Structure 1
Amino acid sequence: MAEEFDPSTHPHRRLNPLTGEHVLVSPHRTKRPWLGQTEAPSAPSLLKYDPQCYLCPGNSRSGGQKNENYVNTFVFENDFAAVLPGPPPTAPSVPHPLLQTEPVAGGCDVLCFHPRHDLTLARLELSDIEHVINEWVSIYLRRGKQEGIKYVQIFENKGAIMGCSNPHPHGQTWSLSEVPTLPATELASLARYAADPASPVAEGAPRGADGKPCLLCEYAHFEIGVAEAEGRVVVKNEHWVALVPWWATWPFEILLLPYHRHITSIDTLSANEKKTFADILSRVTKRYDNLFSTSFAYSMGIHQSSTPGSNDEAHLHLHFAPPLLRSATVRKFLVGFELMAEAQRDLTPEQAAGRLRALSEVHYLDVLEQEAAARTEA
């Protein structure tokens, strides 16, 4: 007779309904010893202002341009943009039908979150995070209304192991003349769900445009109703929920999204929704840093309507993909089976959510500073 299935111990696959891809979950492997690569711990402190940093206020960048003496956020066109302004050249004739070329045009922007070189989202004041959110909205509207632009991708790479070339708090926006593969796949999945009259909609769950079903409205509504001990929710507030998704690939992956109503893009957020957005970004990133008492590396991206008003079926959400697995020095690699077959993880999403949920929302560096001050006074 077969054993009763236990997702915390038995290998199984989970489906990502946004991409149609599966992830193999192997929870029994969390007990194996680790003899692989480790990463050097992140530096415990940085200068508040670094005269050599090309993102600090008033400094010169590599191309000779000089930064403004900014006091909040600062935006400039990337000096080493991945795409160039349009219109793009005509596509060349192809030597074979299998060898297709598609010219792409657009623009790339850099957004400095704060003038302080030593801060991150986790250590910014909520008002400073609101400045970042407002700048995201501004860039999305400006780039999204440009002729020829079909997609605007806002993202942040944090940490050297995520390819971030400068620790100064900043993110990027790439705007393109075509919709990239991953968001195109997600938008197609959301559109199919909205168009299918058989798509499930729970009582009380928000609906999308014209009362149609919304995949992410439905998913978020389900997750916030799961008992905490069994669930994947890490933190939520009045408007937003951050959870380790059922289909997570990365060990401590986070899906962050509004759950109270269908929101297609950041430009449609109310003033109060921006405040609660800042609140949950702060709480999530603090928990990340507190997990291994380090400046937690991740890639974060905002998925929403391709451009303002373009996709009614889109539901605003953020993906956080962090590589750290067991400690501040042990990371997950997507290799072998994961490159050749499908994604795989050991720690279950429920276990990961439980660990993140149990963490303090007081940043570990603030605790260390308070302890040092107390010793000095004593």
Structure 2
Amino acid sequence: MELRYNPLLDDWTMVASNRKKRPNMPKTDCPFCPGSGKVPDVYDVLKYDNDFPALMPEPPEPDPVGSDLYRTEKAVGKCEVILYSPSHTATLPELPVDHIEKLVDLWTERFVQLEKDSRHEYVLIFENRGEEVGVTMPHPHGQIYAYSRMPLKIRMELSNCKKHHERTGSCLICDMNQEEQEFKERVIVENDHFLAYIPFFTDYPYGLFIASKSHRTALSDFSRGEKRALADILKRMTGAMDTLFDRPFPYMMVLHQRPVTGEDVEDYYHFHIEFYPPLRERDKIKYYASSEMGAWAACNPHAVEETAPQLREAYRRWLEREGVDAS
């Protein structure tokens, strides 16, 4: 277990050979179910330290294979599993808003706790859902990684938000929200505090963003009303995704928040959630091919002005099925 420096990208690769030992899709003895001995017999949502972490508070020394060019570092950090429910088959849209609000509270609590460690530079909260994105444990859960090195994508996003602010005096994501609200066609739904849309540039046909309407940088900035509104829009949007093709909708969901050390980014960075759903049709995957992986030259097979109305219609159907108030 170690970090290996990539001089071509000025980035670090995690090497975690221990993760080969992860269990694969248990059908009966799930460690996250009450009665397993691994978790409490009663819980709503739960933080569980990952049994097969890629990052550790006290990791071993790196293998002696590095050099001045190929640097290595200890894989310092933390990997946590966040259990969404004691029910083995529950999904996020099936949970009541009150329950999802408890999940948002737990995310917030862990973010606040992990940012206290000065060795952490960034705390990433995320969920992988579905076999199509490599999920090995079917019990509903997400994860949190606390990195000792700023991930490259976050670094690039922060840099471009800062440049936009220096050039215009405004927040890039605030401006994106305004542009999407004015254009309307890519917006799926909004509530008092959050806006859900498939942005103009996304490389996934259904690459949803959920952004806070107010300029907030992290979960810990939110009021009680904003946390509940986040829980509500998460339920609605994941429900719409499941309704789109009438099947459980695989996705990668990532919460983008401010760094926990370093420069103050309050003026120019903005909380948002990005979804990377691999389906382009009911049974067809949007794969990342050579151009996309080798050159980061993203190619979306559908214009989002085509897919956003489809997701809006799926949301309307989900409302009808659930008998949920559209407001």
Query: Which range, TM-score by smaller chain?
Result: 0.7 to 0.9
User: 1:215 maps to what in 2?
Assistant: 172
Query: CA 1:73 to 1:100, structure 2 compared with 1: closer, same or farther past 3 Å?
Result: same
Query: CA 1:146 to 1:96, structure 2 compared with 1: closer, same or farther past 3 Å?
Result: closer
- Larger Cα-atom Rg: 1
User: 1:70 maps to what in 2?
Assistant: 42
Unaligned residue ranges in structure 2 (runs of 5+): 1-26, 323-327
User: 1:311 maps to what in 2?
Assistant: 265
SS in 2 for 1:359: helix
User: 1:288 maps to what in 2?
Assistant: 241
Paired residues of 1:91 and 1:103 also in contact (CA < 8 A): no
Paired residues of 1:87 and 1:148 also in contact (CA < 8 A): no
Cα distance in 1, alignment partners of residues 201 and 100 from structure 2: 29
User: 1:246 maps to what in 2?
Assistant: 200
User: 1:108 maps to what in 2?
Assistant: 79
What is the one-letter code of the residue matched to 2:308? A
Scaled by the length of structure 2, what TM-score is found? 0.84
User: 1:183 maps to what in 2?
Assistant: 154
Determine which of 145, 155, 166 is the counterpart of 2:116.
Answer: 145
Q: Deviations over 1:273-311 (max 9, x none)?
A: 111111110111011000111110000000011128953
Task: Quote how far apart the aligned CAs of 1:339 are.
Answer: 2.5
The equivalences for 1:129-144 within 5 A come to: 129-144=100-115
Higher relative contact order (CA 8 A, sep 6+): 1
Paired residues of 1:110 and 1:172 also in contact (CA < 8 A): yes
Task: Quote how far apart the aligned CAs of 1:104 are.
Answer: 3.2
Query: CA 1:94 to 1:152, structure 2 compared with 1: closer, same or farther past 3 Å?
Result: same
Task: Quote how far apart the aligned CAs of 1:215 are.
Answer: 0.3
User: 2:33 maps to what in 1?
Assistant: 56
Task: Quote how far apart the aligned CAs of 1:121 are.
Answer: 0.8
Q: Deviations over 1:90-124 (max 9, x none)?
A: 99795353x23343301111110111111111111
Cα distance in 2, alignment partners of residues 220 and 153 from structure 1: 22
User: 2:311 maps to what in 1?
Assistant: 356
Paired residues of 1:300 and 1:318 also in contact (CA < 8 A): yes
Cα distance in 2, alignment partners of residues 175 and 337 from structure 1: 30
The equivalences for 1:253-292 within 5 A come to: 253-259=207-213, 261-292=214-245
The equivalences for 1:339-354 within 5 A come to: 339-341=293-295, 342-354=297-309
The equivalences for 1:1-20 within 5 A come to: none
User: 2:98 maps to what in 1?
Assistant: 127
CA RMSD of aligned residues (A): 2.4
User: 1:322 maps to what in 2?
Assistant: 277
Paired residues of 2:62 and 2:72 also in contact (CA < 8 A): no
User: 1:95 maps to what in 2?
Assistant: 67
Unaligned residue ranges in structure 1 (runs of 5+): 1-49, 61-65, 200-211, 368-378
Paired residues of 1:117 and 1:167 also in contact (CA < 8 A): yes
Cα distance in 1, alignment partners of residues 31 and 158 from structure 2: 36
SS in 2 for 1:319: strand
**Percentage of identical aligned residues:** 31
Determine which of 287, 293, 302 is the counterpart of 2:255.
Answer: 302
Scaled by the length of structure 1, what TM-score is found? 0.73
Cα distance in 2, alignment partners of residues 266 and 256 from structure 1: 13
Cα distance in 1, alignment partners of residues 224 and 154 from structure 2: 26
Query: CA 1:282 to 1:362, structure 2 compared with 1: closer, same or farther past 3 Å?
Result: farther
Task: Quote how far apart the aligned CAs of 1:88 are.
Answer: 7.8
Determine which of 283, 286, 291 is the counterpart of 1:337.
Answer: 291
Q: Deviations over 1:163-200 (max 9, x none)?
A: 1111211000000111111111111111222223xx2x
Cα distance in 2, alignment partners of residues 88 and 249 from structure 1: 38
Cα distance in 1, alignment partners of residues 82 and 109 from structure 2: 11
Cα distance in 1, alignment partners of residues 316 and 118 from structure 2: 43
SS in 2 for 1:75: strand
Cα distance in 2, alignment partners of residues 112 and 365 from structure 1: 29
Task: Quote how far apart the aligned CAs of 1:364 are.
Answer: 9.5
What is the one-letter code of the residue matched to 1:287? A
Query: CA 1:67 to 1:358, structure 2 compared with 1: closer, same or farther past 3 Å?
Result: same
